[in-house]
Amino acid sequence: MVTGLSRAELTEQYLDEVKRRGISAGELVSTQPESVGLQSFYGGRYLSRPLFLGHEETEQLSNDILTMHAALISLPDKLYGGDLAAFGRAVGLSDAQVSAVLRSRGTSVTKQSRADLYLDATGFKLLEFNMGSALGGIDQSDMARALLDQPVLAEFAQAHRLTYVDTMREQVNNMLVESGFERGSRPTLATVDWPASYETLEPYMRHFAVRLDEMGIDAHVGHIGQLEVRDGGVWLGGVKIDIIQRLFMLEDIGDDQDALALMEPVLDAAARGEVKIFTPLDSEMFASKSALAMLSDEANRKHFDAQTLASLDRILPWTRMVRSEPVTLEDGSQVELIDYVLSHQADLVLKPTQLHGGEGVLLGWRADTSAEQWEERVRAAVDGAWVVQRRIRPEVEYFPMPDGDPVPWLVNWGVFTVVNGYGGVFARANTVESDLEVIRLKGGASVGCCLHVLPPDSDVEPGTALPIK
């Protein structure tokens, strides 16, 4: 039974309603917050409408992303006999990074993740999978609330039974559950960045700390060099910390023993139970694109059941490590990888395994990617920390603009998972006209949220957030 309209139908009807009422894009985003913190992070570039998802579409997407999360975290056991260090080396971690992971490992892998996807003509397709506490877009729910302050969207949400996930409150629940604190206990938390990027990110961190404080977390901000391990605990200034929310990442360590030394006292304190780290560094191993290549490799399909394979086949494009060896294509034929990659440049993208946010990505089909550049980069990547991935051709989404009719945009759908399951969607987008195909905040992307149709038996008030379980 189909319950409510689909993504495409909701989008078409909402755009028609905005046009009928003669509402400008400026009016639609006029209720978005304008704090210094948000301006510093998002640049005030808000999408003029939410994305939409039908009920069945939400259920399918949620199931596929949760299945992907479970498949990724099962890889050390399935492929390496539970040897986490061997898995870490296989996904390209340095010795310093492996050491950091082993010293900070939690009892279970965090449920907090964000899968970044394009929507093509056949459905959602994965670009990368991010895991941990350094995920942008947690505050997409604030954007949803602001857009719903506009009567046109509020009325549309009522008419079509639309809701959204309060991802920020879900993250607070993640912090409490995964760190072992009860609701209402008001633990003291330090949101901690790496020293080199702290000055840039501090305004946003302070904005985020205020929001956490409103939701029952006593939040403070700093960088890891400001933490002190003493008197049986970890301190930020004169405040003893219960939970460290880390914004620093494994890539901040790289192969730098000095960077590892900066982190070691905190990792040791966590190992002694003097502080909780939300989320431990092991989460980032599973976010490596090398792990996606393992899932994509037909040799590993025997480790997963039919339901998992069907889910992975829906959303995971063909992905391989850059190696001089035979590989199997989607149709079952075998080719030499390097020869194939060089002769199918227009169908492939080259990506570093550990970096995020589009850093280091080379799109083979771009007019400004010459055959010579492609070959040079591919050959340099052989046996290194690089993957090639099948090109995804995304469908466009239309958004109202300040001048005239809606125009087409390319959208990166950032789908969160949380302790309670599906965690909402953070949208980043560029206009097709901009010709920017790697969608990222540093490249000037605009940001937004997603509303989805409630299940038929839900008693949640349309236009409000889903309650925390």
pLDDT, one tens digit per residue, over 90-103 is: 998 888 888 888 88
Closest CA to 135 of 189, 171, 188: 171
One domain for residues 399 and 343? no
- Rounded CA-CA distance 148/170 in Å is 20
Closest CA to 244 of 268, 217, 275, 206: 275
Q: According to the model, what pLDDT value does residue 95 have?
A: 87
CB 60 within 8 A of CB 307: no
Residue 462 lies in a domain: no
Q: According to the model, what pLDDT value does residue 36 have?
A: 62
One domain for residues 235 and 361? no
One domain for residues 197 and 103? yes
One domain for residues 217 and 352? no
Kindly compute the dihedral angle of the four CA atoms of residues 26, 209, 465, 216, in this order, to the nearest 10 degrees: -150
One domain for residues 399 and 385? no
- Rounded CA-CA distance 398/405 in Å is 9
Strand 319-321: give its sheet, edge to edge. 319-321, 386-390, 348-352, 362-363
Does the pLDDT at position 70 exceed 50?
yes
Strand 162-163: give its sheet, edge to edge. 51-53, 450-453, 162-163
pLDDT bucket at 35, cuts 50 / 70 / 90: low
- Rounded CA-CA distance 94/102 in Å is 12
Domain boundary among 357, 373, 390: 390
- Rounded CA-CA distance 469/456 in Å is 18
Residue 86 lies in a domain: yes
CB 276 within 8 A of CB 242: yes
What tens digit of pLDDT does each residue of 365-377 get?
Answer: 999 999 999 999 9
Residue 208 lies in a domain: yes
Closest CA to 315 of 29, 60, 4: 60
What tens digit of pLDDT does each residue of 366-421 get?
Answer: 999 999 999 999 999 999 989 999 999 999 999 998 877 899 999 999 999 999 99
Mean pLDDT, residues 335-359: 90
CB 226 within 8 A of CB 241: no
Q: According to the model, what pLDDT value does residue 1 have?
A: 42
CB 177 within 8 A of CB 170: no
One domain for residues 233 and 322? no
Domain boundary among 390, 408, 427: 390
Tokens 């994965």, residue? 126
Tokens 């990442």, residue? 249
CB 169 within 8 A of CB 215: yes
Residue 244's domain comprises 7-287+395-453
Residue 342 lies in a domain: yes
Listed ranges 44-48, 351-355, 429-433; the one with the highest mean pLDDT: 429-433
Does the pLDDT at position 34 exceed 80?
no
What tens digit of pLDDT does each residue of 288-321 get?
Answer: 999 999 999 999 999 999 999 999 999 999 999 9
Closest CA to 290 of 212, 194, 354, 373: 354
Q: According to the model, what pLDDT value does residue 3 have?
A: 61
One domain for residues 33 and 161? yes
Q: According to the model, what pLDDT value does residue 359 have?
A: 78
One domain for residues 238 and 347? no
Secondary structure letter of residue 312 according to DSSP: H
Does the pLDDT at position 361 exceed 80?
yes
- Rounded CA-CA distance 31/34 in Å is 9
pLDDT bucket at 242, cuts 50 / 70 / 90: very high
Mean pLDDT, residues 445-450: 95
One domain for residues 186 and 335? no
Domain boundary among 390, 407, 431: 390
Does the pLDDT at position 2 exceed 60?
no
This prediction has a pTM of 0.95
Does the pLDDT at position 228 exceed 80?
yes
Q: According to the model, what pLDDT value does residue 100 have?
A: 85
In the Cβ-directed half-sphere of 243, how many Cα atoms lie within 13 Å?
24
Mean pLDDT, residues 233-252: 92
One domain for residues 384 and 235? no
Average pLDDT, the chain: 93
* Length of the chain as a residue count: 469
Residue 469 lies in a domain: no
CB 230 within 8 A of CB 275: no
One domain for residues 51 and 92? yes
CB 243 within 8 A of CB 172: no
pLDDT bucket at 357, cuts 50 / 70 / 90: low
What tens digit of pLDDT does each residue of 150-185 get?
Answer: 999 999 999 999 999 999 999 999 999 999 999 999
Residue 353 lies in a domain: yes
Residue 370 lies in a domain: yes
Residue 461 lies in a domain: no
CB 246 within 8 A of CB 198: no
Number of domain units in the chain:
2
Q: According to the model, what pLDDT value does residue 14 have?
A: 97
Pairing outcome for strands 348-352 and 334-336 = unpaired
One domain for residues 198 and 332? no
CB 102 within 8 A of CB 326: no
| Greater model confidence, 105 or 69 | 69
